[in-house]
Each structure stands twice: as structure tokens, then as C-alpha cells.
Structure 1
Amino acid sequence: MKALQYRTIGSAPEVVEIETPEPGPGQVRLKVTAAGVCHSDDFIMSLPEEHYVYALPQTLGHEGAGTVDKLGDGVAHLELGTSVAVYGPWGCGRCYECSKGSENYCTNAHEFGIRPPGLGSPGSMAEYMIVDSARHLVPLGDLDPVKNVSLTDAGLTPYHAIKGSLDKLHAGSTCVVIGVGGLGHVAVQLLRAMTPATVVALDISEEKLNLATDVGAQYTFPSEPGAVATVRDLTRGEGVNVVFDFVANQATMDLGHAMMRPQGDQVLVGVGAGVLPVGLTTGAMESAIRSPYWGSRPELIEVLDLARTSGINVHTEVYSLDNAPEAYAKLHRNEIMGRAVVVP
């Protein structure tokens, strides 16, 4: 079968022919119908050799959808041909967090060497993929897999981040979304669907700010130091209740920190890193900084239900598997609007 693999540190991913995998006991093989391209993939492919901890070669793709193609021994109550989405942050299935469906916070995954697809385990950028357990499959029903596959991360991750701050997103509140890319433009839609808060979007790209307006942001401003005064003026000097930072580098973290109001949340969702001052006299009083990761299995079901009932959707650019390297090249150049989706 064809697969897109990262094979050499520092090189672009390649389309190669590999053996079609067979499901082992408890596993499920999917015929892949869609796979999402994510900045996390670009991030891991930018790591130097001393910091790279994933498999090589690595079949990419942690956002996946497909039809059930073959069942391993012991798998029951799952019909062949069923259209499903793949829940990506796999866990052990036995610890306390996993028992709640919060496998994104599995306490045994590192010890047991459990890796998400495309981030250690073979991913969805292939004609077929193996899913380690049927519990990691969520029925898509009548949802188009190409239009909705990215909700498994680009929808689930902001949804989980927003749920952690729902109590602060009340009527009269204001929130800021920094970075209106693959996850950020979905976050704007989720915030409008789930809360009465006023949504402000910041980005360095005018094109992405236009997209933010199209999907529901009430205000958009360039992501630059002057945005602090602009947003504070918008909130009558009080600052914002919640900042959702989908970049999370030092510049955006400083920007968000300067906008916070007392008892606000600064939610760092992007894969960047930086340093923020903490303490009673270093920022807004009783404010909190959180770094949520992905989301739970029940939350993925909720996100897909929102896609059915509230029109949550991902702006997509579609590529064939043969053209998938170009999708990653455009992602690296920050030229993707919304999300790129690969259809084998």
C-alpha cells in the first residue's frame, strides 16, 4: 500500500510503498477515507536528531477517518464497512484517567510505550491503518469524513480547552483567540456555539483574520504589541476573561498575559514554549495559566454531535496521497488556510 512517511531526520516526508498491515488480537484495520495534516507533524519533523523521540520511518497522520475493513481476533460488535473517526490520544484503558475516557492524560502511556497514531504509532497517511482498540473508534454516521476528519484534533483540542474555562465565559465576558489557523478558526466557531462571550481574534495574517470574521469572530486585530491597548479599550480597560493561545511562543504569551483581567484564564494550546512571570504582583490577580492537551473520548463524541447540530466545520484544502508532501510544504510555509486533508 502507499503511505506518507517521515524517514530521515531533517528531510521532507516521502510517499512510499509498504506492506499492508494485518490486525492483531483486539485491533481493527481501517481503509482510510481521510487524514488531516497538522502543525504538530511539522513540529516533530523540525526536531533535531537529539530531541526526536518517535519511530523512523514514521507513517504520519494523527487525524484519521476510515471504514472498518478487517477485525482482529476478539473484536466484537463492530460491523465491516462502518464509517468511523479515530480517537488519537491512546492510553492503557485501565488507569483512572482512561476509565473516565480521558486517555489524553493516561498515567501509564509513557511507561508502556503507548503512542498516538502518527506520533509514534503508524498513522493515517496511508491507504490502510491499524487502530489498537475498537474503543478508539467513534462512529461518523452521516458526517462526511473529508470535511470532518480534522475535528478529531482541530475540533477536539479547542473544545477541551474551552470546556475548562466555561465558567468564565458568561454573558458580558470577552475572550481572545490568538492564531486563527487550523485549530483557532474552529475555536472561534465553538466559542460562538457554546458561550455568549464576545470573541476577539488575533493573527499576523490578514487572510486568516478575514476567515475568523467569516466563521463568527466579532472583532479581529493584527497580532502585534499594539493589540493589548486595543483589546483593553474594547473591554473598557478591564482586560479579557480568557485568552486561548494557539501559537504559544514568547511573543504571543506576553501578548496574552498583558490582556488578562483578574481571575482570568490564559490557556496555552499551541506547541510553542516560553516563560511567563507568576505571583501576586506580576500580573492579573488570581489569574490562571493552563496547558491542556488534546481531549477525551466523550468530548470527541460531543464535538461530532456539534458538527451535526450547530454547523461546526473545518475550512479544508484537499490533497491526494501522492500530493501530500506538497501539503506539508505549504503548511511549513504557513500557507494553509484552515486545515489540509489528504484523501488516499
Structure 2
Amino acid sequence: MKAIQMVKPGSEPELREVDKPSPGPGEVLLKVTAAGACHSDDFVLNLPPEGFPYPLPLTLGHEGVGVVAELGSGVTTLTEGTAVAVYGPWGCGVCHFCSRGLENYCSNAAELQIAPPGLGAPGAMAEFMIVDDPRHLVPIGDLDPVTTVPLTDAGLTPYHAIKPSLPKLVGGTTAVVIGTGGLGHVAIQLLRHLTPSRVIALDVTPEKLDFAKEVGAHETVLSDADAVANIRKITGKDGATAVFDFVGYQPTIDTAMGAVGTMGDVTIVGLGDGQAAAKVGIWAQPYEVSVRAPYWGSRSELIEVLDLARDGALDVAVQTFGLDDGVDAYRKLAANDLRGRAVVVP
């Protein structure tokens, strides 16, 4: 079968012929109907060779949707032909966090060498993929695989990031979204659907800001050296109630910390270069500001996101690619030349 694989750090992925996998005991084989490309993939592709954390070659794709093609022995909770989405942050299933459905924070994953698909385990950028346990599959019914697959990360991650701030985002408050790409444009829609807050979107070009308004932003601000001042022209001296940074480089984190108001939330979602950090201290930001750096989301939250999609609350912008030209999707991702999310359809 064909698969898009990372072969060596610092190089673009390659379309390769690999063996079709067979499910072992407790596993499920999916015929992939859609796979999403993500900035996390680009981050991994550019990690240095020294201490690279995953075995290579690695089939990419931690966003996957497919149809159950074959069941491993002992699997009785699924039937072949069922359309499903893959819950990506796999865990042990029994630790304190996994028992609460938060496999994204599994205490034992590193020790047991459990890795998400595309981020250690073979991923969805292929004609078929193995899912390690049926609990990591969520039926999607008649949802469109192409617009559904980004929701497994680009929908789940912002939803998980926003939920803790919902009690604060009442009438008269302001939410700021930094970065209006794959995750950010979904965050804007979630904030508009789940809260009465005024939503301010930041990005680096007028075209991206126009896109932010199309998906629901009330106000837009160019992400530059004057961003904090321009946000505060809108919010007044109270500042923003919640700021969600989907970029994660030092300048955007500094903008988030400068725009947030007293008792507000700053949530850093974007990976950036992996080195940036928020400066926190008694005089470093307004009083009682909470700073979080969440990761992905829970299986139950994925179900909630899919329900929002069924209700028509989410309209994910996608660009589709065939598997044969899937490497070009990663080129466009690296060049920041995508409107919304790249989806590869085998």
C-alpha cells in the first residue's frame, strides 16, 4: 500500500510503498478515508537528528478517519464497515488520567512506549492504518470524512483549550485568538457558538484577518509590534478576559501576556519553536492571571466536538489532496500557504 512517511529528520516526507498491516489481538484495521496534515507534523519533521524521539521511517498523520476493515481477535465492540474517527492521544487506559478519559495526559505512556498515530506509531497518511484499541475509535455516522477528520485535532484541541475559560466568558467579556489558521479558525467558531464574548482575532496579513471575520471574529488586529496597544483600544483598561495563542512563538506569547486583563486566562496552544515561554510573576502580568499549556483533549470531548459538527456549529475550511500529491500538502503547510486545514484523501 502507499503511505507518506518521514524518513529522516530535517527532510520533507516521502510517498512510499509499504506492507499492508494486519490487526493483532485487540487491534482494528481501518481503511483510511481521510487524513489531516498538521503543524505538529511540520514541527516533528524539523526536529534535530540528535535524540530524535521516534523510530523511522514513520507513517505520518495523527488525524484520521476511516472505515473498519478488519477486526483483531477479541474485538467485539465494532463491526466491519463502520465509519469512525480516530481519537489520537493513546494512553494506557488504566492510570488516574486515563480512567477519567484524559488519555492525552496518560501517566504511563512514556514508560510503556505508547505513542499516538503519526507521532511515534504508524499514522493515517496511508491507505490503511492500525488502531491499537477499539476505545480509540468514535463512530461518525453520516458525517463527511473530509470535513470531520480535522476535528480530531484542529477541533478537539481548541475545544479542550477553551472549555476551562467558559465560566469567565460571559456577557461583556472579550476573547482573543492569536493565529487564525487550522486550529485558530475553529476556535473562533467555538467561541462564537459557546460564549457571548466579543472575539478579537490576530494574524499577520490582511487576507488572514479577512478570513477570521468570515468565520465569525467581531474584530481583527494585525499581529505586529503594536498588537497589544491595538487590542487594548478595543478592550479598554480591563484587557482581555481570555487569550488563546495558537502560534506559540515568543512574540505571540508576549502579546497574549500583554493583552490579558486582571483575573484573565492565557492559554498557549501553539508549539512555536518549542522554546518560547510566558513570563509569570507578581509584577509580570495583571493580578490572578492563569496561564495554561494544554495538550489535545479527551475522548468525551471529541464526541462533544463531533456533536457540534452535526448541529452545524462548525465549518472547517479544508484543502484536499490525493495520497499521490500528499507530500505537496506538507510543502504548503511548511510555507504557511493553506487556507484552513490540509486533508489527504487516499
1:309 aligns with 2:306: no
Q: Does 1:282 align with 2:281?
A: no
Tell me how far apart the structure 2 counterparts of residues 310 and 250 of structure 1 sit (CA, whole Å): 35
Structure 1 SS opposite 2:324: coil
- Report the Cα distance in structure 1 between the residues aligned to 2:103 and 2:45, rounded to whole angstroms: 24
CA distance in 2, matches of 1:106, 1:204: 36
Percent identity for Structure 1 against Structure 2:
58
Q: Distance in 2 between matches of 1:277 and 1:16?
A: 44
Q: Mapping of 1:9-20 within 5 angstroms?
A: 9-20=9-20
Task: Give matches, 1:1-344, under 5 Å.
Answer: 1-272=1-272, 273-344=275-346
Q: Which amino acid aligns with 1:146?
A: V
Cα drift, residue 79 of structure 1: 1.1
TM-score by length of 1: 0.99
Distance in structure 2 (CA, Å) of the matches to 1:317 and 1:277: 37
Whole-angstrom distance in 1 between the partners of 2:51 and 2:159: 29
Aligned CA RMSD, in angstroms, stands at: 0.8
Q: Is the 8 A contact 1:102 1:296 kept in 2?
A: yes
2:50 is paired with a residue of what secondary structure? Answer: helix
Return the alpha-carbon distance in structure 2 between the equivalents of residues 205 and 67 of structure 1.
39
Counterpart residue identity of residue 295, structure 1: G
State the distance in 2 between where 1:73 and 1:235 align: 58
| Gapped regions of structure 2 (runs ≥ 5) | none
CA contact (8 A) 2:190 2:313 kept: no
The TM-score, its normalising length taken from structure 2, stands at 0.98
CA contact (8 A) 2:193 2:313 kept: no
1:177-196, Cα deviation, whole Å (9 max, x unpaired):
00001000000000011111
Asked whether the 8 Å contact 1:148–1:313 carries over to 2, the reply is no
Q: Which moved further from structure 2: 280-289 or 318-327?
A: 280-289
Q: Does 85-94 or 51-60 show the bigger shift?
A: 51-60
1:260 corresponds to which letter in structure 2?
A: V
State the distance in 2 between where 1:112 and 1:207 align. Answer: 45
- The count of corresponding residues between Structure 1 and Structure 2 is 344
What's the secondary structure of 1:293's corresponding residue? coil
The alpha carbon displacement at 1:51 in A equals: 4.1
Render the CA deviation track for 1:8-33: whole Å, top value 9, x for unaligned. 22221111111000000000000000
Please state whether the residue corresponding to 2:319 is helix, strand or coil: strand
1:121 is displaced (CA, Å) by: 0.1
Moved over 4 A (4+): none
Tell me, yes or no, if the aligned pair for 1:155 and 1:303 is still in contact at 8 Å: yes
Deviations 1:40-71 (A, max 9, x none): 00000011101421120000000000000000
Q: Give the drift of 1:280.
A: 1.5
Unaligned runs of 5+ in 1: none
Tell me the CA shift for residue 221 of structure 1.
1.2
Q: Is the 8 A contact 1:37 1:63 kept in 2?
A: yes
Cα displacement (A) at 1:231:
1.2
Asked if structure 1 preserves the Cα contact closer than 8 Å seen for 2:77 and 2:134, the reply is no
